[in-house]
Amino acid sequence: MKKQGPGIRDQGSVSRFRETQRHQLQLLIIALATGITLLFNSQPQAYELSGHVTAEGRLFFKDPLFDEQERNSASIAVQPEFYHEFDNGSSFLFTPFGRLDSADSERSHFDIRELRYLWLHDAWELRAGAGKVFWGVTEFVHLVDIINQADFVEDIDGEEKLGQPMVNLTIPARYGVLDLFVLPYFRERTFPGEKGRLRSRLVVDTDEAGYESSAKEYNVDLAVRYGNTIGDWDFGIYHFRGTGREPTLLFKSTATGSISLVPFYEQIDQTGLDAQMVKGGWLFKLESLYRTGQGEDFFAGVGGFEYSFVNIVSSGIDLGLIGEWAYDERGDDTTTGFDNDIMAGARLAFNDAASTEVLAGVFQDLGGDSSAVSVESGRRISDHWKVTLDAFFVLESSEDDILHGLRDDDNLRIELSYYF
């Protein structure tokens, strides 16, 4: 059974790869054609190529929990960035991304992170193409961020995102900034394959993804956001209507009798708020959302603070203390993993020539016993080289928690990046 499983999955992966590749290729050709036309139609003002190549090793302290998983993995990722700015301030940006992973075929993937043209006018900005947008204020949970799909195979923190096809009109006015989005194509969330670690017991079969919308991934999603800064406050409020980015995972048995999870993407309406206040060395943060269309209507929120100690004992080192609490009305049925959790963390910035930084956090589930520790650190070696070291440990996990499948996945992740 297990032997057949991977075979079937591999075929699926290939067809899925071909399908997504076709979409991406279409997008790429359109954008490149636009880009080239624009390049030849006007005199280049400034164009530049930059980016990075990163070698990564993930070392796991324990044997994998599931038979198919490989213990450790090595991979290489490339993200070049081509940027061109025209005389009038308009610009073209192309950022492809690719990774080759030794263990997980799902983690070996290619994506167009950005491929957009920006028309810049005094009264408005229009961005068209594939882009990336971040909304939110908190450090450990990114609750209200919704435009881009999480590239989950990259990292379980959800901070890596897939490029989102969009037309985005920004109107910066005296009384705040209005953003309108038309999102014509949906990106499916990526999940680790069966050889990959940091996954649930059941593999998510992304080839079998289901949609509530009959248009499937071609459903046109819409979003509008208003944001402003008033004194010590920064805030934004938005409404999103369209395909939910967080799928509901459904059990599915295959013809061979094995069981897998398939993602189902509902049509949702979501209103979100993010706000932050600065008071002296304090930052107070709040994100909250109300979603309808995915099961029962629910509310979720995350709030907290960050306090900075600057230049402690004249050492030049800054220390930030972070405390956050996340709540989700759905309780155990949450799709984010944060139903009632607190996070406590510390950020150390050494302010040295190498820009050495460490961010460490403890996650504790208040409704159960689950807890985990995450550490991210990095420093520059030279103008072109940087090394980062991340660690993740599950301290405890109750059976119903999302961490349970990761309980043997304590790991160390080392990255060496070359910037050009």
Partner 1 sequence: MERSGAKNVERRTWNAGHRKKIDEQRITHVARRTTFDEKIRIVLFLILSLLIVPISALTETPEEKGLAIAREADRRDEGFHDSTADLIMTLRNRHGNESTRNIRVRTLEVAGDGDKSLTIFDNPGDVKGTAFLNYTHKAGDDDQWLYLPALKRVKRISSRNKSGSFMGSEFAYEDIASQEVEKYTYKWIRDEVFNGQECFVVERYPVDRKNSGYTRLVTWIDKQEYRPLKVEYYDRKNLHLKTLTINDYKQYIDRYWRAGTMKMVNHQNGKSTDLVWSNYRFWTGLTENDFSKNSLKRAR
| Residue from the set 29, 310, 346, 366 that interacts with partner 1 by CB under 8 A | 310
DSSP 149: P
Q: Is 352 in the site for partner 1 (CB under 8 A)?
A: yes
311's tokens: 């230049």
Q: Is 281 in the site for partner 1 (CB under 8 A)?
A: yes
Q: Minimum distance between the CB of residue 78 and partner 1, rounded to whole angstroms?
A: 14
The terminus-to-terminus CA distance of the chain in angstroms comes to 47
Q: Which is nearer to partner 1, 299 or 385 (CB)?
A: 385
Inter-CA distances, 281 with 284, 308, 314, 316, Å:
10, 5, 17, 16
CB 400 within 8 A of CB 43: no
Q: Is 98 in the site for partner 1 (CB under 8 A)?
A: no
CA distance 138 to 284: 9
CB 77 within 8 A of CB 56: yes
Q: Is 133 in the site for partner 1 (CB under 8 A)?
A: yes
Q: Is 314 in the site for partner 1 (CB under 8 A)?
A: yes
Q: For the stretch 23-43, what's the b/e string if a residue is b when 16 or more beta carbons lie within 10 angstroms of its beta carbon?
A: ebeebbeebeeebeebeeeee
Q: Minimum distance between the CB of residue 308 and partner 1, rounded to whole angstroms?
A: 5
Q: Give the strands of the sheet with 259-265, arranged side by side.
A: 210-211, 259-265, 248-253
| Residue from the set 3, 41, 43, 122 that interacts with partner 1 by CB under 8 A | 122
Site for partner 1 in 144-183 (CB under 8 A): 159, 170, 172, 177
CA distance 97 to 162: 10
Q: Is 52 in the site for partner 1 (CB under 8 A)?
A: yes
Nearest by Cα to 133 from 179, 173, 178 = 179
| Residue from the set 39, 59, 110, 132 that interacts with partner 1 by CB under 8 A | 132
| Residue from the set 76, 220, 354, 395 that interacts with partner 1 by CB under 8 A | 354
CB 135 within 8 A of CB 302: no
| Residue from the set 13, 69, 91, 105 that interacts with partner 1 by CB under 8 A | 91
Total interface residues for partner 1 by CB under 8 A: 47
CA distance 310 to 231: 22
CA 367 from centre of chain = 26
Q: Is 44 in the site for partner 1 (CB under 8 A)?
A: no
Q: Minimum distance between the CB of residue 276 and partner 1, rounded to whole angstroms?
A: 6
Q: Is 353 in the site for partner 1 (CB under 8 A)?
A: yes
CB 268 within 8 A of CB 295: no
Site for partner 1 in 382-411 (CB under 8 A): 382-384, 386
Q: Minimum distance between the CB of residue 117 and partner 1, rounded to whole angstroms?
A: 12
| Residue from the set 83, 110, 264, 290 that interacts with partner 1 by CB under 8 A | 83
Q: Which spans of this chain sit near partner 1 (rule: CB under 8 A)?
A: 50, 52, 83, 85, 91, 118, 120, 122, 125, 132-134, 136-137, 159, 170, 172, 177, 227, 229, 234, 276, 278, 280-283, 306, 308, 310-311, 314, 316, 318, 351-355, 380, 382-384, 386, 417, 419-420
